[in-house]
Amino acid sequence: MICDSEHEKARLLLEALPYIRDFYGKTIVIKYGGHAMVDEDLKRAFALNVILLKYVGINPVIVHGGGPQIGKMLDQLGIACQFRQGLRITDTATMDVVEMVLAGKINKQIVSLINRHGGMSVGLSGKDGNLIQARKLEMVLERKDAPPEIIDLGKVGEVTGINATLINTLKGQGFIPVIAPVGVDEEGETYNINADAVAGAVAVALSAKRLVLLTDVAGVLDASGQLISSLDLREASVAIEEGTVKGGMIPKMKCCMEAVDGGVEKAHVLDGRVENSIILELFTTSGIGTEIVHRRKRENRI
């Protein structure tokens, strides 16, 4: 006799069907970071979520961070570092460590994780095939009653271009690309780039269906601490101006807004500490995080 749990599994599969159909053949760019990269159960769940997407005909592309791991290695090597506006000031010695940790250790760990659980993954640095073209990021802080302050962040960059052909070639051959956010300029200079910004730029370059940012919070919260399920570009802008969105969520929200404004259908900010968060967000009616859209539809999240 079939038990209730088996019926529930069938119901959940049928609930996911319209989403799978809608996403079939499309690209989803996922920024992987935070606690989801540390906890063993969450790491396994992430790999299985990504592999499932690939097996049902969706093309996941992973961009990963690694700030805490970089900080730990710098401490071990006795290299001091400073931050301005959330960005790590990156001198030559720090850049060597950043590249070693991101493009070496972390990138290959994620590739191995996905491959070990039945996927086919390939790791890439932004320097491979001129994948992430960059330039030095100029930070200018406006000051009241004083001239603007120009801050030299060293080898911190911003994206100027993405080699979409390389990623599309790998996708077409059945591989899941895993990208380390290290870029290079026309002179061959290497830059450390914010992983959220890289994920957004990759999503726009690939005309992705979705951009997903995994974080260590539930999503965007209102003034009372309740999750905001959906925001359009106007509402998101107001939320930043009014201070509802603040701190480290501001650059994530701006990244999502730029991606949606650049043609990505929806961007999602969700809690990577929740097991199977990617599937729960993409394949269920209510989702678990915050979606950012160009213009919000009131009836559903598909």
The binding site for substrate consists of 66-67, 88, 192
Place of tokens 């906890």: 39
Of the candidates 260, 269, 271, which has an alpha carbon nearest to the alpha carbon of residue 293? 260
Cα dihedral sign, 249-29-279-39: negative
* Distance of alpha carbon 291 from alpha carbon 270, whole angstroms: 8
Of the candidates 284, 289, 159, which has an alpha carbon nearest to the alpha carbon of residue 212? 289
Name residue 105's amino acid.
K
- Extract the annotated binding site: 66-67, 88, 192
* Distance of alpha carbon 209 from alpha carbon 293, whole angstroms: 11
Cα dihedral sign, 128-131-136-141: negative
Kind of pairing, strands 266-271 and 290-293?
antiparallel
* Distance of alpha carbon 297 from alpha carbon 301, whole angstroms: 8
* Distance of alpha carbon 271 from alpha carbon 283, whole angstroms: 15
